[in-house]
Structure 1
Amino acid sequence: MIYKVYYQDSKLEMPVREKTNSMYFEAENERAVRKMLKDQQINIEYVQLLEGAYLEYEKQSEDFKLQENLSI
């Protein structure tokens, strides 16, 4: 399954929509995604499962790239 992670670059700052970033992961479930990111110094806002038409829409974006390593 493909997940889209919305996050802020710092855990210390208040979340601001304009500074929200996103990245994509292939994982079995949301828990696996969060486990992959547990050592990163980011503030995870939301982990969203992408499927069906929404996944196809996201794949058309130039920003769509599955993360292979965690160098954020």
Structure 2
Amino acid sequence: MIFKVFYQPTITEVPVREKTDALYIEAETEEEVRKLLADRKYNIEFITPLKGEALAYEQQNEKFKLETV
């Protein structure tokens, strides 16, 4: 399954909406996503699974690129 992860690039700063970034990653569960990204020290705000029409919509975005971990 593909997940969209909303995150702040650093843990040491207060989250600000305008600095929120997103990445796409393939994993079996949300827990696995968190484990795969643990070494990056991101402040993960939200993880959402993508499938069906939502996935098709995201794939049309020019920023859509699956992360490799």
RMSD of the TM alignment (CA)?
0.8
Task: Report the residue type matching 1:25 in the other structure.
Answer: I
Identity of matched residues, %: 52
After the TM superposition, which parts of structure 1 deviate over 2 Å for at least 4 consecutive aligned residues?
Answer: none
- Residue 21 of structure 1 is matched in structure 2 by 21
TM alignment of 1:26-41, pairs within 5 A: 26-41=26-41
Task: Report the residue type matching 2:63 in the other structure.
Answer: D
Q: What's the TM-score, normalizing by structure 2?
A: 0.94
Structure 2 SS opposite 1:36: helix
Task: Report the residue type matching 2:14 in the other structure.
Answer: M
- Residue 12 of structure 1 is matched in structure 2 by 12
Q: What's the TM-score, normalizing by structure 1?
A: 0.91
Q: Which runs of 5+ in 1 are unaligned?
A: none
Task: Please give the per-residue CA displacement for 1:6-52, whole angstroms capped at 9, x wherever unaligned.
Answer: 00011011111110001000100101100001111210001110111
- Name the structure with the higher helix share: 2
Aligned residues: 69
